[in-house]
Amino acid sequence: MKSRLYRAGINCEKQEMIEDLKSEKIINKVGGKFRLTALVQRRLGELLQGGRPLIQDTENKTMLEIVVQEILQDKIAVDDGTPAESGKS
């Protein structure tokens, strides 16, 4: 019984992650679906090659869930070649 509940919890978390990927918030944050896909792919590659996660809470999270959280927490962004704004005028 416990394992069934545990699996249901994991499925719910995965569903939330999938919904996060579909949300307009994350798509607009990176500038579109294509950029989101490219950013996720590049960051997953970095993690697979031994890169460290940029978020604290990684326990029981897949690499994809980590990447989504990094994007939502503004830890990573698309590098479009333009210099970042420094906040000075």
Looking up tokens 């989101």 gives 36
54, two tokens: 């940029």
Spell out a b/e string for 4-40, using b for 16 or more CB atoms within 10 Å of the CB, else e. eeeeeeeeeeeeebeeebeeeebeebbeeeeebeebb
Residue 1 has pLDDT above 50, yes or no: no
Which regions of 1-89 does DSSP assign to beta strands (E)?
Answer: none
Q: Are 35 and 27 in contact (CB under 8 A)?
A: no
pLDDT, mean over the chain: 81
Domain 2-72, architecture per CATH: Alpha-Beta Complex (3.90)
Instruction: Note the pTM of the prediction, 2 decimals.
Output: 0.72
Q: How confident is the model at residue 84 (pLDDT cuts 50, 70, 90)?
A: low
